[in-house]
Amino acid sequence: MDRIKDMVLRGGENVYCVEVETVLFEADAVKDCAVIGIPHDKLGEEVAAVIVAADGHGPQSAEKVLEHLRSRLAGFKVPSKVFWHHEDLPRNAAGKVLKKDLRDLYS
């Protein structure tokens, strides 16, 4: 993950996290989310989504969320891993998601 550009470099393709997050926030099942890069043996990094479920949703909504993403993003931008986070995402004093903490937790 490039910290400055908030980008995942997946097998030579640039995936901008904010683009994927914007589409994720459109899904009814998503209350909060962050997109991160996690290590991948062949690609270098793979795209992963960390999701806090909206009320009435959870891991059972994963396929619906992925369908939503597939209909709006190029295939290489769709997260290959989806993690359901069961508490608020970690944030700094300014309210920015601490993606390094999420990478440490889910890598």
Domain boundaries, the chain: 7-106
The pLDDT of residue 50 is: 98
pLDDT tens by residue, 60-77: 999 999 999 999 999 999
**One CATH from 3.30.300.30, 1.10.3720.10, 3.30.230.10, 3.30.1490.20 for 7-106:** 3.30.300.30
Tokens of 22: 């914007």
pLDDT tens by residue, 7-60: 999 999 999 999 999 999 999 999 999 999 999 999 999 999 999 999 999 999
- Rounded distance between C-alpha atoms, residue 15 and residue 77, angstroms: 6
0.85 exceeded by pTM: yes
The pLDDT of residue 71 is: 98
28 three-class SS: coil
